[in-house]
């Protein structure tokens, strides 16, 4: 597929990146999922001098924000103001080059979304339905399924959610829970009647199959496959309104206390942001020769490929996405990112810990991007890629070239003597030309990882060439080389300098700060980075004097990596004691309140516990579970297997022989396939570190505790 074929018909480009939810900071999974790929693509298009707009913004509506506000004792506006500012700053620090980064609480967005809804309503496209929903009378709010907790009818987990039990994985409905209660107030939820407006997606099924399944077979397999499965399973009406006071008011007379569903208004945010950006916004949204591309993570596929296009189709005035190159998820150190468990690498913290290293993170997240499947980020890999690729290949090549140029060519671009050019010179010149084509074709196909490897590979070829040419050997001591040798030196350095200029152009979409530094070293203007210059070996003029080399990348030390791994694990430990609730998304439950004293119990409640002194006789790590240790505990009358979540705090060999207090009559529970028969009591100190509870003096195993 050539560039011309791909872009023949498009006069302008509108690129969007998913609207992050203003309920927490940005982590590296977000960056890898859509912001870095979108930014690479946009920077490449700009270097091509195409007409492009890059829009984004914070999604600031939805019930989780109101609940967070309620729990923190602030207003929803204060919640979104705080996180919008933090998110925006993180993007700026990572050089995500939005043309506008807006927010959905802006007036223009409220007007645009309300008008969109009104148009569909006036065209008679909604179904109006009354239904019964759970209501929390204490918190005075309707409850989505996730906000209802109760005992799982399958496994007895007392903290199962109204849609799923996270312990046994059973899919549930609130009606199935034993003793359901509100996650907000603990009140018993009651049913109340409520009216909502539903968008009948099933009416668009035939059209979606034609437009998407037939018309966009070129979409990435992971995206196409997910869409196909949604369509194969059949679509249903979806409520496009909610009961809440926070959001965009439903623009109808009989809709007091109702707002637009957050997934109805959020994607319209792309339109509002474009309106805010330019008065020519309609060129981008209403002209068929616009190429609209949505960059998102895989959890947003249904909204961007099925629901939003159906809304756009129903409205009738807007272009549809040409492509939705969604990425899969990035895991951290082998485990899923979880904001409630604090298992994440936060961008604002990265920037503080690694100042000036934003390009390193961009590099690692692109070269390890979850483009076709979930991928894993590890700090070891981060260090490895920095030290052995950025430092040892790319940085090393540029640095050697500049040092040799100053030493052997008086700090100037030497002449290229065509008449003595050999096969190696010619081959490298060919490679420079070819790499432009390759990188370009890969970027057009959203294959960012491969495109980046291509650039690094070109630098690798430069290193190999220098190594084979050994220009430094053409000089003996402090003597001036003879004319023939000087010509060989000149040719080698000349090509390496032209290659350096090419590397700056090719790396620019990926690592913009690095490209800037290289421009400064070469004393050339930004215009050199125009994509059309790539492939040329006449970028730096003969005789032009260049600056001294700057360090492009620094080595990352073991201690820095160890500190990050520790930080990650400590965060997990702190979160582990506080949170029975899931990650906060647009629809999920927000973070829970911090621990306070539990409700009072009577003596009989306490007397039900059978607490015994035991002794750890063996301990081993549980495979594929970072936190778990499998323990054998001698209770005097028997030896038990107990699985305990203390592996981040203790090494197995350190705890053998220790006495502990065991809850001996706890119902057995399977963890990672191992049946655990009881629980060990632990105390947690202010730093989140765990300590055993045991008798001050060693006593007989099996002794009762009361």
Gyration radius (Cα) of the chain, Å: 30
Compute the least distance from the CB of residue 177 to Zn ion, in Å. 10
Compute the least distance from the CB of residue 160 to Zn ion, in Å. 5
Counting beta carbons within 10 angstroms of the beta carbon of residue 330, is it exposed (0 to 12), middle (13 to 18) or buried (19 or more)? buried
Q: What is the DSSP string of 630-697?
A: EEEEE-SS-EEEEEES-TTT--HHHHTT-EEEEETTPPPEEETTEEE--EE-EEE-TTS-EEE---SS
**Nearest CB to Zn ion, comparing residues 105 and 157:** 157
Q: CA–CA separation, 336 vs 330, rounded Å?
A: 8
**Nearest CB to Zn ion, comparing residues 152 and 404:** 152
- Closest by Cα among 390, 388, 452, 460 to 431: 460
Q: CA–CA separation, 221 vs 298, rounded Å?
A: 12
**Nearest CB to Zn ion, comparing residues 669 and 689:** 669
Compute the least distance from the CB of residue 169 to Zn ion, in Å. 7
Name the segment binding Zn ion (CB under 5 A); options: 156-164, 496-504, 529-537, 687-695.
156-164
Question: Can you read off the two tokens belonging to residue 516?
Answer: 């800037």
Name the segment binding Zn ion (CB under 5 A); options: 162-170, 213-221, 293-301, 460-468.
162-170
**Nearest CB to Zn ion, comparing residues 656 and 666:** 666
Q: Are 130 and 85 in contact (CB under 8 A)?
A: no
Collapsing DSSP to helix, strand or coil, 195 comes out as: strand
Name the segment binding Zn ion (CB under 5 A); options: 37-45, 165-173, 515-523, 690-698.
165-173
Phi first, then psi: what are they for 87, rounded to 5°?
A: -65, -45
172 binds Zn ion (CB under 5 A): no
E runs forming strands in 109-247:
127-136, 141-142, 148-151, 160-161, 178-182, 190-200, 237-239, 241-243
Tell which positions 618-637 bind Zn ion, by CB under 5 A: none
154 binds Zn ion (CB under 5 A): yes
Compute the least distance from the CB of residue 368 to Zn ion, in Å. 35
Beta bridge partners of 141: 136
**Nearest CB to Zn ion, comparing residues 169 and 257:** 169
Compute the least distance from the CB of residue 669 to Zn ion, in Å. 11
Compute the least distance from the CB of residue 155 to Zn ion, in Å. 3
**Nearest CB to Zn ion, comparing residues 56 and 180:** 180
**Nearest CB to Zn ion, comparing residues 168 and 421:** 168
**Nearest CB to Zn ion, comparing residues 167 and 417:** 167
- How many angstroms separate the Cα of 349 from the Cα of each of 27, 113, 386? 9, 35, 19
**For the sheet containing 100-103, what is the strand order?**
100-103, 51-58, 12-17, 290-295, 321-323
Compute the least distance from the CB of residue 624 to Zn ion, in Å. 21
| Number of alpha helices (DSSP H) and beta strands (DSSP E) in the chain | 23, 26
Compute the least distance from the CB of residue 504 to Zn ion, in Å. 56
**Nearest CB to Zn ion, comparing residues 282 and 671:** 671
Q: Which residues contact 482 (CB under 8 A, 6 or more apart)?
A: none
Compute the least distance from the CB of residue 674 to Zn ion, in Å. 18
Compute the least distance from the CB of residue 389 to Zn ion, in Å. 45
671 binds Zn ion (CB under 5 A): no
**Nearest CB to Zn ion, comparing residues 155 and 277:** 155
157 binds Zn ion (CB under 5 A): yes
Q: CA–CA separation, 88 vs 107, rounded Å?
A: 19
Name the segment binding Zn ion (CB under 5 A); options: 163-171, 230-238, 356-364, 403-411.
163-171
168 binds Zn ion (CB under 5 A): yes
Compute the least distance from the CB of residue 582 to Zn ion, in Å. 14
Q: CA–CA separation, 55 vs 350, rounded Å?
A: 24
Nearest 10 degrees: CA dihedral of 649, 652, 653, 656? 100
# chain residues binding Zn ion, by CB under 5 A = 8
Tell which positions 479-508 bind Zn ion, by CB under 5 A: none
Binding mask 134-153 for Zn ion (x = CB under 5 A): ------------------x-
- Closest by Cα among 9, 20, 4, 10 to 295: 20
**Nearest CB to Zn ion, comparing residues 162 and 370:** 162
Compute the least distance from the CB of residue 667 to Zn ion, in Å. 13
Choose which of 6, 100, 108, 155 interacts with Zn ion (CB under 5 A).
155
Compute the least distance from the CB of residue 76 to Zn ion, in Å. 33
Name the segment binding Zn ion (CB under 5 A); options: 170-178, 186-194, 303-311, 352-360.
170-178
Collapsing DSSP to helix, strand or coil, 338 comes out as: strand
Compute the least distance from the CB of residue 154 to Zn ion, in Å. 4
Q: How many Cα atoms sit within 13 Å of 584 on the Cβ side?
A: 22
**Nearest CB to Zn ion, comparing residues 158 and 543:** 158
**Nearest CB to Zn ion, comparing residues 315 and 669:** 669
Compute the least distance from the CB of residue 680 to Zn ion, in Å. 23
Choose which of 19, 45, 47, 165 interacts with Zn ion (CB under 5 A).
165
Q: How many Cα atoms sit within 13 Å of 431 on the Cβ side?
A: 23
176 binds Zn ion (CB under 5 A): no
Q: Which residues contact 549 (CB under 8 A, 6 or more apart)?
A: 398, 399, 402, 403, 406, 521
**Nearest CB to Zn ion, comparing residues 168 and 252:** 168
Q: CA–CA separation, 612 vs 614, rounded Å?
A: 6
**Nearest CB to Zn ion, comparing residues 167 and 574:** 167
Collapsing DSSP to helix, strand or coil, 506 comes out as: helix
102 binds Zn ion (CB under 5 A): no
Counting beta carbons within 10 angstroms of the beta carbon of residue 669, is it exposed (0 to 12), middle (13 to 18) or buried (19 or more)? middle
Question: Can you read off the two tokens belonging to residue 183?
Answer: 């996650």
**Nearest CB to Zn ion, comparing residues 115 and 178:** 178
Q: How many residues make up the chain in this entry?
A: 706
Compute the least distance from the CB of residue 676 to Zn ion, in Å. 16
Residues of this chain that interact with Zn ion (CB under 5 A) are: 152, 154-155, 157, 165, 167-168, 170
């Amino acid at each position: 597929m050539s560039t011309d074929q791909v872009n023949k018909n498009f006069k302008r480009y509108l690129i969007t990146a998913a609207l992050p939810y203003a309920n927490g900071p940005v982590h590296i999974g977000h960056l890898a999922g859509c912001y870095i790929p979108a930014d690479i693509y946009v920077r490449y298009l700009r270097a091509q001098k195409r007409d492009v707009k890059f829009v984004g913004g914070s999604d600031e509506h939805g019930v989780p924000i109101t609940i967070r506000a309620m729990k923190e004792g602030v207003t929803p506006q204060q919640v979104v103001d705080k996180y919008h500012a933090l998110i925006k700053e993180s993007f700026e620090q990572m050089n995500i080059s939005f043309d506008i980064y807006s927010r959905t609480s802006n007036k223009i967005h409220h007007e645009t979304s309300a008008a969109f809804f009104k148009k569909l309503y006036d065209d008679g496209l909604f179904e109006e339905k009354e239904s019964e929903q759970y209501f929390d009378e204490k918190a005075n709010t309707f409850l989505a399924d996730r906000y209802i907790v109760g005992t799982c009818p399958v496994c007895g987990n007392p903290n199962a959610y109204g849609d799923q039990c996270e312990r046994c994985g059973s899919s549930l409905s609130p009606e199935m829970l034993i003793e359901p209660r509100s996650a907000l107030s603990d009140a018993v939820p009651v049913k109340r009647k409520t009216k909502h407006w539903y968008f009948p997606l099933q009416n668009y099924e035939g059209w979606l199959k034609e437009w998407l399944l037939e018309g966009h077979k070129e979409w990435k397999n992971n995206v196409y496959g997910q869409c196909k499965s949604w369509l194969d399973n059949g679509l249903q009406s979806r409520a496009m309104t909610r009961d809440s006071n926070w959001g965009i008011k439903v623009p109808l007379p009989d809709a007091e206390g109702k707002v637009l569903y957050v997934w109805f208004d959020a994607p319209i945010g792309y339109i509002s942001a474009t309106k805010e950006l330019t008065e020519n916004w309609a060129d981008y949204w209403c002209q068929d020769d616009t190429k609209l591309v949505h960059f998102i993570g895989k959890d947003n596929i249904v909204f961007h490929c099925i629901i939003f296009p159906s809304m756009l189709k129903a409205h009738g005035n807007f272009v549809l996405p040409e492509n939705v190159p969604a990425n899969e998820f990035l895991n951290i150190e082998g485990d899923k990112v979880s904001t409630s468990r604090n298992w994440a690498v936060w961008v604002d913290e990265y920037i503080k810990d690694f100042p000036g290293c934003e390009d390193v993170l961009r590099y690692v997240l692109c070269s390890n991007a979850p483009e076709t499947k979930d991928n894993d980020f590890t700090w070891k890999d981060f260090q490895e890629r920095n030290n052995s690729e950025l430092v040892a290949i790319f940085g090393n090549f540029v640095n050697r070239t500049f040092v040799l140029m100053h030493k052997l060519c008086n700090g100037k671009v030497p002449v290229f003597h065509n008449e003595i050019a050999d096969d190696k010179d010619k081959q490298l010149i060919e490679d420079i030309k070819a790499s432009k084509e390759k990188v370009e074709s890969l970027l057009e196909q959203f294959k960012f990882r491969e495109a980046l490897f291509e650039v690094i590979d070109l630098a690798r070829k430069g290193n190999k060439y220098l190594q084979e040419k050994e220009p430094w050997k053409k000089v003996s001591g402090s003597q001036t080389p003879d004319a023939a040798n000087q010509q060989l030196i000149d040719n080698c350095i000349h090509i390496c300098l032209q290659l350096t200029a090419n590397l700056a152009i090719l790396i620019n979409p990926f690592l913009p700060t690095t490209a800037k530094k290289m421009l400064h070293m070469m004393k050339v203007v930004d215009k050199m980075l125009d994509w059309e210059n790539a492939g040329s070996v006449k970028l730096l003029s003969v005789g032009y004097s260049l600056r001294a080399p700057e360090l492009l990348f620094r080595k990352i030390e073991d201690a820095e990596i160890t500190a990050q791994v520790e930080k990650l694990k400590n965060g997990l430990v702190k979160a582990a004691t506080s949170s029975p609730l899931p990650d906060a998304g647009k629809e999920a439950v927000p973070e829970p309140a911090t621990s306070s004293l539990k409700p009072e119990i009577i003596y009989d409640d306490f007397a039900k516990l059978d607490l015994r002194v035991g002794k750890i006789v063996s301990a081993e790590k549980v495979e594929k579970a970072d936190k778990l240790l499998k323990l054998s505990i001698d209770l005097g009358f028997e030896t038990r297997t107990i699985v305990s979540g203390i592996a981040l705090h203790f090494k197995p060999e350190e705890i053998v022989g220790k006495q502990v207090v065991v809850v001996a009559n706890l119902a057995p529970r399977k963890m990672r396939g191992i049946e655990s028969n009881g629980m060990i009591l632990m105390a947690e100190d202010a730093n989140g570190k765990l300590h055993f509870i045991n008798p001050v003096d060693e006593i007989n195993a099996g002794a009762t505790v009361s």
